[in-house]
Structure 1
């Protein structure tokens, strides 16, 4: 895996698009032992604003997923699809539902990953969530913390992931990383972001365990069964690391507005009738893991602060190169500021 080198496999075409080099793609599919019939087409998919994701489809409607880093200037350790491929390969034999990695190659010096296409429903738009029954929404919502519990049950030694990241205290590492990220990608000065970082740094809880942390676990990063609502695949592992499992639960809550909160946010759909409340998500997670969640308020506030930093980075990358923009709208300054407001409120509520 990873010994194939292509030139212009996915080629930027004009200011807004991409072209697929069909001959190079045929060579890759053939060398990977995958049946296919021409013509092939590549379609940009997903609302994710980080790595670029393409669905490769052949004449018989067979499908594969190709992932590559975004265009333009990349920060160190960001958008690492090679590392993500390692994680997915390691998780293939576990209880965590993940897509199978087909191959890893290099395209004009940029790593690209080819993986299986997992059929199902991705609830990444309000119109999709609105079309579901309240019962279906509840099933999906309850499946999220239960799936998170399966991720946190992964044995690091058995999967070979014990050396994936540092074993040093996770909260300190996160604050250092995302503070640096903010400084490198911010589009304006926002003193409250720096003050929040200081409040969080002064309130870091003791770390009692080290486990696999997805790093960006939310409703748009999973594929669900369109009938029963179970989660059939967890996606977007590029921020996966080793740390405190409660960080993932805090992030899930940060991506889960309640009625009346962040109504212009792309995740406001999580407040639709049927979806469980944040408290119910926590109850399900505790029932599945028996973990002490006394420090969850800290991780919720940190999760919101981190989302604000991430969205500021999305705004920066899109301004640098408009082709990085996904189907969804680019975060606005007002939306980012609303998340900063929510982080500030969550920190105050937690007594930080």
Structure 2
């Protein structure tokens, strides 16, 4: 249900800003609502009764200046317009925090829904489910085929040493939240650091690519890939490795995961990888390493949440189970590296 002013979004000030930078775009008073489901940046749907748009801003409260970078998200989405990667059209970027209290950008509202639960796919049947999953892979291959320099993103990241930095970064995060003995996690970290593969050509990396970060319409088309806040230039197989973890049985141990891969007709991991390799031309022979890295990354993230829970610094429910999940992810990572 729309409200006059959703938390963190002053619609009157937003309207005034849009009238200034895009006169004639909005034809009446705005109403809006917070779109649930985002884990970090806040996303709103706003309408004047004729058109509809989406607003993205950082979470409420103090955030680091480099975190939740609205300009970065806006830049990559704008750059990908006109490529084979489906993204919303961008309307405006506002870096003046006096307008709504934070930097924000506005983009087109795209048709479609995120598919997060197996029952959503079960309802459309196994044949359509398979088609949707394969189109997800085709879209990932299309993203990784975009020449960053050709779309103005040559300086969007530092591809050299990307994988080594990833291992170091998550290792430092682990050290910062270490509060208990976690059998196997140091072995996983060491094995990753000692076997870093040589990267192929750098690409635009989404950073959190999965089915529920895309919109699928009634014709089973992927109309938009969303949530680009972790995008950069780097090794594209990190996207594929993380996606395989999201489609693994180990992830089902975590609170509130997507279980779309359980739907009848959903391709196996091997089929998805084969589709990606065919469409992208990338060498996927070392993919187990990338999947191991993804397991390590998620284990470290959840261990950090568990640490904050033990310090009484979390708000909400189900945090008491997070600590039990970490060993499952560590085991999954070691298993992939032993494969």
Per the shorter chain, which TM-score range? 0.7 to 0.9
Unaligned runs of 5+ in 2: none
CA 1:212–1:320 in 2, change beyond 3 Å: closer, same or farther? same
1:70 aligns with 2:50: no
Match of 1:288 in 2: 279
CA 1:230–1:310 in 2, change beyond 3 Å: closer, same or farther? farther
d(CA) in 1 for partners of 2:24, 2:119? 35
Unaligned runs of 5+ in 1: 1-9, 323-328
Range that drifts further, 335-344 or 271-280 = 335-344
1:349 to 311, 329, 336: 336
1:110 to 102, 106, 113: 102
1:90 aligns with 2:79: yes
Using structure 2 for the length normalisation, give the TM-score. 0.85
d(CA) in 1 for partners of 2:164, 2:77? 26
CA 1:255–1:64 in 2, change beyond 3 Å: closer, same or farther? same
1:244 to 235, 242, 248: 235
1:120–1:223 contact (8 Å) kept in structure 2: yes
1:218–1:252 contact (8 Å) kept in structure 2: yes
Partner-residue secondary structure (3-state), 1:90: helix
Higher normalized contact order (CA 8 Å, seq sep 6+, divided by chain length):
1
The CA deviation at 1:321 is: 8.3
1:256–1:268 contact (8 Å) kept in structure 2: yes
d(CA) in 1 for partners of 2:52, 2:323? 35
The CA deviation at 1:113 is: 1.1
The CA deviation at 1:47 is: 1.6
1:257 aligns with 2:248: yes
1:1-352 correspondence to structure 2 within 5 Å? 18=7, 20-31=9-20, 32-60=22-50, 62-74=51-63, 77-105=66-94, 106-108=96-98, 110-182=102-174, 186=177, 189=180, 191-192=182-183, 193-227=185-219, 229-258=220-249, 262=253, 265-311=256-302, 332-335=319-322, 337-338=324-325, 340-351=327-338
Using structure 1 for the length normalisation, give the TM-score. 0.82
Report Cα offsets for 1:109-141 as digits up to 9, x if no partner: 621111111111211345533433222211111
CA-atom RMSD in angstroms: 3.1
CA 1:342–1:331 in 2, change beyond 3 Å: closer, same or farther? same
CA 1:158–1:47 in 2, change beyond 3 Å: closer, same or farther? same
The CA deviation at 1:149 is: 0.5
Number of aligned positions between the proteins: 329
d(CA) in 1 for partners of 2:24, 2:175? 44
Match of 1:5 in 2: none
